[in-house]
Structure 1
Amino acid sequence: MELLAVRLKQNAHCTVGDLARELGVSERTISRDLSLMRDQGMQIDADRGRGGGVRLDRNWGVGRMNLSYAEAVDLLISLAVTEQMNSPMFLANLDSIRRQLVASFSPAKREMVDRLKSRILVGVTASTYVQAGTSPPPKPIVQALHQAFTDQETLAIRYQREDGETSSREIEPHYLLLKYPVWYVVAQDHLRNASRTFRCDRILAASRTGTHFRLLPKEAFQLTPDGDELVM
């Protein structure tokens, strides 16, 4: 039905027959899908008479967005990061967007979101030296890190230091730190049995272990500057 909705919105006028031929299905299937779309609240207009067409109201969908819980959480956290960065652009409607998203959550889920937001730290912008040597981490690594962070799950990683030396570690991703545009993981490192900060783009591989950890307070992690890097 998604393809059908897109097709209807793109074209001001098309018949059931046209749609059936274009999408490779029967006219009966198109008619059934149109009925289901109307049941879901989509505004579908139809012209009466021989050769009449159907169309989806071009204004349908404005103000409507079906997000999963995980997607809504990501959006809320992104809004929070944007606000913490104090960017003057495109902030006028953030309060309204946030209120609408939060209103869709149960009290228990709102508390979960607040806890996640409190675990994301925003620091000063990264130096030009650091920015010149960074690149976006591969998507599978980002996904593994994201899930481990959200679920408070230990992560097995392969990490490369600035001098090129690599090591295998198990880390507890307690906090995420953004020194725009570079992300760091503030973690408990099982290999060193100590706190460490890892630059996300230097993680070469990452996999979840299924082992969960108890969150430590921010005070347990003392961040100190060390040139253009961060150490614990």
Structure 2
Amino acid sequence: MPETSAPSTSRRLLSLLTVLQSRRDWSAAALAGRLDVSERTIRRDVDRLRELGYDIDATRGPAGGYRLRAGAHLPPVAFDADQAVAVAVALRVAASAGGPLADAADEALSVLSRLLPAPLGRRAQRFAVEVIAPAGAVGVDPSVLGAIEAAIEAAEEVRFDYSGSEGPARVTEPHHLVWSSGRWYLIGFTPERADWRIYRVDRMTLKTHRGRPFPRRALPGGDPVRYLEGRFRGGDATGRWPCRGEIVVAAERDDLAPYVGDGSLLATDDGRTRVSLGSWSWGALAAECLRFDRPIADARPDALRAALVEAARRAEAAAAS
């Protein structure tokens, strides 16, 4: 077949390598059709890839084709745009999750980020906006993530139906995609309410047509991750708990360390520990203070002391009944 274009050899080789990596076996005719070149060009380019160290098997005959095998060493790997973004997001997840490969994942992400063209680098950064501890991931159609990311990049509204709610389609100005505890969330400004809203992406069914352009806005606090954490906790854009207090617990600091979560500990001179904790309400904070099963004292502030008195009253009433 005649070749309809004449891309550079290097670009053509990278395209061929990307296609060969995508599945186990390819016929020469299928490769030629996929890359819009002749089968003769495919044969020449396969030979060039072999010279570069890629182990490519060939089978002869009418049904002959090519297979890229794992080699004895790691050769260069080629990705298309979507694959490169997916790898960058996966590396960010691995680097943020900790464990023995966290440092290697962070180094690999640095290498990939330097090599990505600027538009892909922005896409990867947008997708992987500071990951929060992944766990029990909920599946999301990659095309939905891609459409939202494209709308963020173009500063265009998205229209969507939201499962579990009735009424007309919703409209929001998308600003940030954030991965948190196994789910993707969209942080957007909703003009109808003149306020910021958070949407679970797995509950969104996007409308197909493009939305209107909008002016970019500054997220309160400036940090999407802290903003999401703060909203989850019922607090503000800083990510802090809305109710914070402290107590002194009759226990050594090391004995309490495994049980304080994101709280802080300060050893006192008499062998006790001052514990600072946060929660979504004063009642919940009082319950947190009582779970240590050790004598406590010097509760601060007054709101926490009042919550402890109320917790004691309710416990006494429950015991009496």
TM range (shorter): 0.5 to 0.7
> Partner of 1:93: helix, strand, or coil?
helix
**CA-to-partner distance for each residue in 1:108-130, whole Å, 9 max, x for gaps?**
5597468637x82444668xxxx
Q: What amino acid maps onto 1:197 in structure 2? A: I
Alignment CA distance shift 1:33-1:105 (3 Å): closer
Question: What is the TM-score when the length of structure 2 is the normalising length?
Answer: 0.46
Residue in 2 that maps onto 1:225: 232
CA apart distance, 1:151: 3.6
Residue in 2 that maps onto 1:93: 104
Residue in 1 that maps onto 2:205: 204
Q: What amino acid maps onto 1:34 in structure 2? A: R
Structure-2 separation of matches of 1:37 and 1:61: 18
Alignment CA distance shift 1:94-1:178 (3 Å): same
Residue in 2 that maps onto 1:64: 76
CA apart distance, 1:188: 0.4
Indicate conservation of the 8 Å contact 1:174/1:216, yes or no.
Answer: no
CA apart distance, 1:180: 1.6
Indicate conservation of the 8 Å contact 2:54/2:71, yes or no.
Answer: no
Alignment of 1:1-232 (within 5 A): 32-39=41-48, 42-43=52-53, 58-59=70-71, 62-84=74-96, 86-105=97-116, 112=122, 116=126, 120-123=129-132, 136-161=139-164, 164-207=165-208, 208-209=210-211, 211-219=213-221, 222=227, 223-225=230-232
Indicate conservation of the 8 Å contact 2:138/2:182, yes or no.
Answer: no
Indicate conservation of the 8 Å contact 1:154/1:171, yes or no.
Answer: yes
> Partner of 1:171: helix, strand, or coil?
strand
Indicate conservation of the 8 Å contact 2:95/2:101, yes or no.
Answer: no
CA apart distance, 1:170: 1.6
The structure with the largest alpha-carbon Rg is 2
Q: What amino acid maps onto 1:184 in structure 2? A: Y
Question: What is the TM-score when the length of structure 1 is the normalising length?
Answer: 0.60
Alignment CA distance shift 1:160-1:141 (3 Å): same
Alignment CA distance shift 1:138-1:20 (3 Å): closer
**CA-to-partner distance for each residue in 1:66-116, whole Å, 9 max, x for gaps?**
2234543442233223323x331532421342233123246x559746863
Aligned-pair identity (%)? 18
**CA-to-partner distance for each residue in 1:153-178, whole Å, 9 max, x for gaps?**
321111234xx434412212212232
CA apart distance, 1:138: 4.0
> Partner of 2:75: helix, strand, or coil?
coil
- In structure 1, list runs of 5 or more residues that go unmatched: 11-18, 24-28, 47-53, 228-232
Q: What amino acid maps onto 1:173 in structure 2? A: P
Alignment CA distance shift 1:102-1:150 (3 Å): same
> Partner of 2:157: helix, strand, or coil?
strand
- In structure 2, list runs of 5 or more residues that go unmatched: 1-15, 32-37, 57-65, 235-321
Select the structure that is richer in strand.
1
> Partner of 2:169: helix, strand, or coil?
strand
Alignment CA distance shift 1:77-1:153 (3 Å): farther
Alignment CA distance shift 1:180-1:121 (3 Å): same
CA apart distance, 1:141: 2.7
Moved over 6 A (4+): 54-57
Structure-1 separation of matches of 2:94 and 2:220: 21
Structure-2 separation of matches of 1:170 and 1:105: 32
Structure-2 separation of matches of 1:82 and 1:45: 29
